[in-house]
Amino acid sequence: MLIASYKDFSMAGWAWPHFHPVELACKCRSRGCRGEYWHDPKFIDALEALRGRVGRPLKINSGHRCGVRNVLVGGAPESRHRRIAADISLSGHDRHAFLNAAIDSGFTGIGRGRTFIHLDRRMSPATWTYKGADASWQI
């Protein structure tokens, strides 16, 4: 569900203690939107499950992107970030444990970056490694 700004989203009934809509909203703030937000309860359920498994705070580098921002950051036109996906910082985390926890938490689109991991919940599972990130994932 698309909401023009996270500021307009009612927090009544918000059920996820470790996350706030602002963390998942578009980061434009001025150039393209007012903090566009895509609400997907199942996605936040999966984030909470992941947070529980990892046992540490998750820093979301990028969540929803409005059309303007998606172009500005060079995102694919059909990027999952146009609805909801999260690029989460791997700083301070064991990346392999984090990856396994993400799979166990129900994420099906998983992109392995050097400093972050991309997570979404797509119908057909897909995993990939971003350019320049291979070495960081070698065991």
Contact mark string toward Zn ion, 83..112, x via CB under 5 A: ------------------------------
Q: Which stretch binds Zn ion (CB under 5 A): 2-10, 19-27, 77-85, 92-100?
A: 19-27
Q: Which stretch binds Zn ion (CB under 5 A): 29-37, 41-49, 78-86, 93-101?
A: 29-37
Q: Beta partners for 86?
A: 119
In sequence order, which residues have a C-beta less than 8 Å from that of residue 122 and are 6 or more positions away?
Answer: 80, 108, 109
Provide the minimum distance between the beta carbon of 2 and Zn ion in the complex, in angstroms, as a whole number.
12
8 Å CB contact between 81 and 118:
no
Q: Which stretch binds Zn ion (CB under 5 A): 21-29, 74-82, 97-105, 106-114?
A: 21-29
Q: Can residue 28 be called a binding residue for Zn ion (CB under 5 A)?
A: yes
Q: Which of 24, 26, 60, 84 binds Zn ion (CB under 5 A)?
A: 26
Nearest CB to Zn ion, comparing residues 51 and 82: 82
Catalogue the long-range contacts made by 11-19 (C-beta closer than 8 Å, 24 or more residues apart). 15/41, 15/44, 16/44, 16/45, 16/47, 16/48, 17/48, 18/47, 18/48, 18/51, 18/57, 18/58, 19/44, 19/47, 19/48, 19/51
Contacts with Zn ion, residue ranges (CB under 5 A):
26, 28, 32-33, 66, 69
